[in-house]
Amino acid sequence: MARRPALPSSSAAQEERNGGSRPKQARHRQRDAARSTARSVDVREWASGIRLSGFAAIMLSLVVLGTWVLVPTVGTYLDQRQRIAALQDAVQVTEDQISALEQERVRWDDPAYITTQARERLYYVKPGEVVYLVDNDLDPADLPPEQREVSDEIEERPADWMPQLLRSITGTGLAKTAVEAPAR
């Protein structure tokens, strides 16, 4: 890639003819203008240096065409793979639920399990048995403390929240509850 020689400007040719008799200010302005044009890029000069053969043009157009055709296809493929994975997860969850329900059905085929459930849930008894129901049979120390009233004042808490979080988690795990959570 050879560069084309720049044509001398008419003012530079005139200065040479005059023997350099231009004032200093004009020479400084011309030098500053030459520096600014030297920094700018001449697009025509750059583009004229690019040589593109017919084979390279055909190959470039094939690459662009192939990209234009394949990108939507690859996007569709990835979208379908994500949908398949989501459906497989849903099928696995459903199969787990089915197996849990089948185990529950097998339990209900056992007469001892049915008797136990009738006694616990419905308070059924066999003839001659006496059942005593005791309310508030928990130790007073095991009962949760009464909730305090909510104050109207705003309190500022310390900014160190991590120890409080750990205390809350360990306290929750070690707490004795008075009421069992309802079964789902």
CA angle 47, 52, 56 (to 5 degrees): 140
CB-based contacts of 116, cutoff 8 Å, min separation 6: none
Compute CA 50 distance to the chain's CA centroid, rounded to the nearest angstrom: 43
Tens-digit pLDDT profile for residues 18-37: 555 556 666 667 666 666 55
> Tell me, what amino acid is at 170?
T
Tens-digit pLDDT profile for residues 56-107: 889 899 999 988 888 888 889 999 999 999 999 999 999 999 999 999 999 9
CB-based contacts of 162, cutoff 8 Å, min separation 6: none
